[in-house]
């Protein structure tokens, strides 16, 4: 698969100490274990704390991700699964259902949830995308940690904005008090 258009993988302004859950589907076990290994390596290199969970197949990733995300224990939940067209009669149905459900969770919950789902034509392609050289699990973890950093950056800039708004409000109240009474 071409990675043209994607810059070198590095988490921008990493937030160290992120709490991350990895949830891995056991279907295509060899591949999803390799994805998890890639994801864990990135998480540890970025100073994140990782807990690992398993589900049967990719179809179970969205409900498990939802439970983990709603637990309040994690800044990011990284779902990892692998669908192989040649071996999965309803490949397209599963791929769309899982991707769509994960996207809905990712946009509605305040927890970073990337798309760590490999959709491949065959096992060779799946191996190539879960190798140490190109690992979609590692990429999913990088994407999640970047979202966590963005969330923290937004939270601190909103806190700064509300502090300066309240300082401005209290200054203007002091000025008004000094002017009254009879200062018109
Ligand atoms: N789950 C996967 O994660 N990857 C697959 O390639 C995959 N292929 C499946 C093919 C068939 C015919 C069936 C019935 C299930 C498959 N599943 C696969 C499992 C699916 O995600 C889910 O775990 C089960 O359907 C139980 O809900």
How do residues 14-59 score in pLDDT, each as one tens digit?
678 999 999 999 999 999 999 999 999 999 999 999 999 999 999 9
- Please, what is the average pLDDT of the chain? 88
Taking the C-alpha atoms of residue 149 and residue 153, their distance in angstroms, rounded to an integer, is 6
Which residue(s) pair with 130 in the sheet?
135
The answer to whether residue 181 scores a pLDDT higher than 60 is no
Helices (H), 22-133: 29-45, 61-70, 91-108, 123-128
pLDDT for the residue 17: 92
pLDDT for the residue 158: 67
pLDDT for the residue 168: 72
Which atom of ligand 1 is least distant from the CA of 83?
Answer: 6
Taking the C-alpha atoms of residue 62 and residue 116, their distance in angstroms, rounded to an integer, is 11
Find out whether the peptide bond into 136 is cis, omega within 30 degrees of 0.
no
Taking the C-alpha atoms of residue 55 and residue 85, their distance in angstroms, rounded to an integer, is 20
Domain boundaries, the chain: 19-153
- For the segment 111-118, the average pLDDT, to the nearest whole number, is 98
Which of 33, 59, 129, when mutated, tests ligand 1's pocket best, judged by the most ligand atoms within 8 Å of its CB? 59
What phi and psi values does residue 18 have, to the nearest 5 degrees? -65, 145
Q: Which CATH class is domain 19-153?
A: alpha beta
Which of 23, 30, 58, 62, when mutated, tests ligand 1's pocket best, judged by the most ligand atoms within 8 Å of its CB? 58
Q: What percent of the chain has pLDDT over 70?
A: 79
């Amino acid at each position: 698969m071409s990675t043209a258009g994607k810059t070198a993988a590095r988490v921008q302004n990493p937030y160290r100490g992120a709490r991350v859950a990895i949830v891995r589907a056991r279907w295509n076990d060899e591949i999803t274990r390799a994805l998890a290994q890639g994801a864990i390596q990135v998480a540890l290199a970025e100073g994140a704390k990782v807990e690992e969970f398993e589900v049967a197949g990719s179809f179970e990733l969205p409900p498990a991700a939802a439970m983990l995300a709603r637990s309040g224990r994690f800044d990011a939940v990284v779902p990892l699964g692998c669908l192989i067209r040649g071996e999965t009669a309803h490949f397209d149905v599963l791929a769309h259902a899982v991707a769509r459900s994960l996207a809905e969770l990712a946009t509605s919950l305040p927890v970073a949830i990337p798309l760590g789902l490999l959709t491949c034509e065959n096992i060779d392609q799946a191996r190539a995308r879960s190798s140490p050289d190109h690992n979609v699990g590692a990429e999913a973890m990088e994407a999640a940690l970047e979202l966590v950093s963005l969330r923290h950056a937004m939270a601190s800039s909103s806190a700064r904005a509300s502090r300066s708004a309240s300082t401005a409000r209290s200054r203007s109240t002091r000025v008004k008090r000094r002017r009254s009474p009879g200062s018109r």
